[in-house]
Amino acid sequence: MNKENIDIKAFDINAKPADIDWKNLVFGYYPTDYNVRCDFKDGKWGDIYVSSSPNIDVHMAATCLHYGQEAFEGLKAYRGKDGKVRVFRMEKNAERFRESAEGICMEPLPVEKFCEMVRMAVKLNARFIPPYGTGASLYIRPLEIGMTPQVGVKAAREYTVVIFVSPVGAYFKTGFKPSKICISRQYDRVAPKGTGRFKIGGNYAASLRSGNLAHDKGYSAMLYLDPKEKKYLDECGPANFFAVKDGKYVTPASDSILPSITNLSLRQLARDMGLTVEERHIGLDELKDFSEAAACGTAAVCSPVLEIDDLDTGDTYVIARDGKPGPVTTSLYNTLLGIQFGEVEDKHNWCEVIE
């Protein structure tokens, strides 16, 4: 394994930014200098180490390739208005990373190691943290995979965790504008009582075909229904869903929905605004009563919904009747971004400053 002898103390979080056209960054992969790794062998996690290689040496019979033993996370670091670098709700991502690993019988990485690895990955690649005011941020991607080569269907005995980073541009290149999403009963993202609440690659693979169909028809996402009865709203594949109804923030409750850290944060901010928050089953018949709706996640924060089209029945539900994001969604979006960029007081201590 390509291990680098690196003195992290020699790296300055305020390093001179790399020569990048920050304002024209896409939301995609951009190579950086280092990634941080840790291996589970002989029944224990080893020391954290640094690598400059973008490659992982994986045996062709490894469980990650054959039986889907793979989990990942997504979080961000932001350079704020005050010049400080903040990572948003790192411990929550660490906890969800553990839950995903346990959900598919992988060894969960301790929260403390996860956080230490994130801090290292950010500091080692400080020159790739986008400057304040560009609308860009540093995306952080932790990944765990089963490494044991075997043909029998069983869990691996060895695992590798890698955390790499990439500067990414603002999700909304055309501005914070509502888009259309669609519904189809012909597709399920996950099975009832399956792996829906875990952040694993298989769930995203299962959403690709229906997601491509939605995009081909001009929609930004597919809004899935519950996989058992097809009566209730579930989530948008890569993002959770919430709506505003009668002055309340409502979001689906289901064992097959990924527990979004963004959604969790937005629910708290909605309470701070004086809204009642309801996490419950949301029936299809309620679509006509929404005054606002949005998909929410790390990438976009809030992606407001213009209308929801039912591809099976032909019904159309117009949400943003004036074609603009609603006041609640807009306030939530601006407040959460403001906290992440150090523009709004972090009352709930969600951000950790990296020094």
C-alpha distance from residue 121 to each of 4, 21, 130, 172, 317 (Å): 13, 22, 15, 26, 44
Q: Tell me the two tokens of residue 225.
A: 């229904």
Backbone phi, psi, residue 275, to 5°:
-85, 150
Tokens of 330: 């807009």
Q: What are the CA-CA distances from residue 264 to residues 98, 134, 138 (Å)? A: 18, 26, 21
Q: Burial of 145 by CB count in 10 Å (0-12 exposed, 13-18 middle, 19+ buried)?
A: buried
Q: Strand pairing of 240-245 and 248-252?
A: antiparallel
Determine the Cα–Cα distance for residues 258 and 97; give it in Å rounded to an integer.
12
Rounded CA separation 310/304 (Å): 18
Instruction: Give the DSSP per-residue string, 211-270.
Output: HHHHHHTT-SEE-PBPTTTS-BB---SSSEEEEEETTEEEEE--TTS---HHHHHHHHHH
Distance of alpha carbon 91 from alpha carbon 113, whole angstroms: 11
Cα distance between residue 203 and residue 263, in whole Å: 19
In Å, how far from its chain's centre is CA 119? 18
- Residue 89 and residue 111 in contact, taking contact as beta carbons nearer than 8 Å: no
The torsion angles phi and psi of 21, rounded to 5 degrees, stand at -80, 80
Is 347 in the active site?
no
**CB within 8 Å of 235: residues ≥ 6 apart:** 189, 223, 224, 241, 252, 254, 257, 258
9, 44, 199, 231: which is the annotated catalytic residue? 199
Active site residues: 199
